[in-house]
Amino acid sequence: MRTAICSGSFDPITLGHLDVIRRAAACFDRVVVCVSPNAEKQNQMFTPEQKLRLVRAAVAELPNVEVELWPGLLADFARDHGATVIVRGVRNATDFDVEYQMALINRGIYPWLETLLLPAGQEYQHFSSSMVREMIRYRQPMEKYLPMSVVPMVREIMDNEKG
């Protein structure tokens, strides 16, 4: 069984993230989505537990996809799950440079661990989670950016924090 890891902070999960996860699920027997709290990122909107719920809702229709929260090194997560591949989406040259460096680091830790970079679908190249957070903060329509299954959950989270 070929297992791949898709990882990210998913703050929140976007249609672009879901596209990469779906494409990975079509290529591998098992995909484990690693939700990383990523304490280094500023202005996070959702708690790790909220992110986990949102990602699980977004991938619920994909039978070979699992989702877990992981605070440690991605390479260790891959080893613990028997994965030989990390799948990452890239939107542009800047993403490629960052992901290339991470791939070298992960391979330095575990030489058998490969990284597969999937170019973002054309319709998803122009937005990021940070941009989506701004849309959410300013109560803009989310349907163009978020999986439909998570839109009501995001609204509920935002309403609870507002009230």
**Residue ranges of the domains in the chain?**
3-162
Q: Is 162 one of the annotated active-site residues of the chain?
A: no
Lowest mean pLDDT among 53-62, 69-78, 132-141: 132-141
**pLDDT greater at residue 58 or residue 127:** 58
Mean pLDDT, the chain, integer: 92
The catalytic residue among 7, 9, 36, 129 is 129
Q: Is 17 one of the annotated active-site residues of the chain?
A: yes
The catalytic residue among 7, 17, 30, 36 is 17
The average pLDDT across 24-37 equals 96
Does 101 have pLDDT greater than 60?
A: yes
Lowest mean pLDDT among 34-43, 90-99, 118-127, 139-148: 34-43
Do 142 and 151 contact (CB within 8 A), yes or no?
A: yes
Phi, psi dihedral angles at 68 (to 5 degrees): -140, 155
Do 150 and 13 contact (CB within 8 A), yes or no?
A: yes
The catalytic residue among 2, 41, 137, 139 is 41
The catalytic residue among 53, 91, 107, 133 is 91
Q: Detail the DSSP E strand segments found in 98-158.
A: 114-119
Q: Is 81 one of the annotated active-site residues of the chain?
A: no
Residue 108, SS3 per DSSP: helix
Q: Is 130 one of the annotated active-site residues of the chain?
A: no
Share of the chain above pLDDT 90, in %: 76
The average pLDDT across 74-90 equals 96
Residue 125's pLDDT is: 84
Q: At the fourth CATH level, which superfamily is domain 3-162?
A: HUPs (3.40.50.620)
